[in-house]
Amino acid sequence: MTNDQEFEHYLRVRRTEIETALEAGLPTPPACPALIADAMRYSLLAGGKRLRPILTLAAAESVNVRNDPGRDLTGSPSAMPAACAVELIHTYSLIHDDLPSMDDDDVRRGRPTAHVVYGDAVAILAGDALLTHAFEVLARPEAEETPPRLARRLRAIARLAGAAGAAGMVGGQVLDVEATGNLTIVGNGRAAPETGHEALREIHERKTGALIGAAAAIGAILAGADHPTVAAIDAYSTHLGLAFQIVDDILDVEGSVADLGKTTGKDAVAGKPTYPAVHGVARSRALATNAAAAARDALAEANLGGRLGEIADWVVSRRQ
């Protein structure tokens, strides 16, 4: 296998492990009503890159391997509940963002969105249930209940909740809702250049960057990383989150070119501020590459190896 094939194999194995754990952890009837169980499964098990939970596992692995180089690389089961919690929160955010009162998206990953299938009420409730379930998964009794492990789990819950809430992801979505409205009025589908640059960065840092950062950080925390190591992981994922978002924006433009035969995607139509709109595609691509390199540098400084560097390259080179 080439390095690329080997990394693709790693991603597939991790996705399968994560999806198995997600499915096994979901509430089922008669513990809960059938309709909410269906709606949660529908969105959670619809596929996807699983970038965030893979980051959690990879960060835990990276810390474990540095601390104990002889350690078997094939699993970091102690971080799996945290990986699941991150994906549960990501999925809930997609369901709520897709609602008619927000982005009004009818299709995600090639399937009708939750509110199209179940109606707005049940879609909102499925999101609520997934978000709540994330914290249940993280707090469930474990076989190993040592004091350091208990303290790490609480620290992980606090970090994840902080990243997902008003100061992080939810706050970013609020800014996005505000900005889309404003920019539609002001700029006719294009960000106003004087305010676009900083506002755009804040929206992305909160809406996407905070959860990506927490995903990696809680993996490291649960593996027992000390504060300087968590700080290095935070630096890594700040750059990674930026790279991810820039590429997301570029794919929205270029995906539209390929699929729809026009030069603007749904972000531009919706008047969303994006990197290509503010910087142009070529400059955006350079910014993404620089961000991934900065992410790798942060790892190198903390002597962290493993998959995290490959993940940074993947985030920039991905086609979807």
Residues that bind a copy of itself (CB under 8 A): 27, 31-33, 35-37, 40, 92, 96, 99, 101-102, 119-122, 124-125, 127-129, 131-133, 135-136, 138-141, 145, 147, 150-151, 153-155, 157-158, 161-162, 164-167, 170-171, 173-175, 177-178, 206
Query: What is the spatial distance between Cα 14 and Cα 98, in angstroms, rounded to a whole number?
Result: 27
In whole angstroms, the minimum distance from the beta carbon of 221 to a copy of itself comes to 12
Query: What is the spatial distance between Cα 194 and Cα 200, in angstroms, rounded to a whole number?
Result: 11
In whole angstroms, the minimum distance from the beta carbon of 163 to a copy of itself comes to 9
- Taking the least distance from each CB to a copy of itself, the nearer of 29 and 47 is 29
> With 0-12 CB in 10 A as exposed, 13-18 as middle and 19+ as buried, what is 245?
buried
- Taking the least distance from each CB to a copy of itself, the nearer of 9 and 140 is 140
Q: 9 is written with which tokens?
A: 């194999």
- Taking the least distance from each CB to a copy of itself, the nearer of 151 and 257 is 151
- Taking the least distance from each CB to a copy of itself, the nearer of 40 and 191 is 40
In whole angstroms, the minimum distance from the beta carbon of 218 to a copy of itself comes to 11
In whole angstroms, the minimum distance from the beta carbon of 160 to a copy of itself comes to 8
User: β-strands 111-112, 107-108: how paired?
Assistant: antiparallel
In whole angstroms, the minimum distance from the beta carbon of 197 to a copy of itself comes to 18
- Taking the least distance from each CB to a copy of itself, the nearer of 112 and 255 is 112
33: left (phi over 0), alpha (psi -120 to 50) or beta: beta
- Taking the least distance from each CB to a copy of itself, the nearer of 18 and 126 is 126
- Taking the least distance from each CB to a copy of itself, the nearer of 127 and 309 is 127
Residue 112 parent element (H or E): strand 111-112
| Of 246, 251, 234, residue with least CA distance to 288 | 246
Q: 257 is written with which tokens?
A: 């070119």
In whole angstroms, the minimum distance from the beta carbon of 142 to a copy of itself comes to 9
In whole angstroms, the minimum distance from the beta carbon of 168 to a copy of itself comes to 8
> With 0-12 CB in 10 A as exposed, 13-18 as middle and 19+ as buried, what is 274?
buried
Question: What is the DSSP code (8-state) at residue 47?
Answer: -
| Of 264, 266, 257, residue with least CA distance to 319 | 257
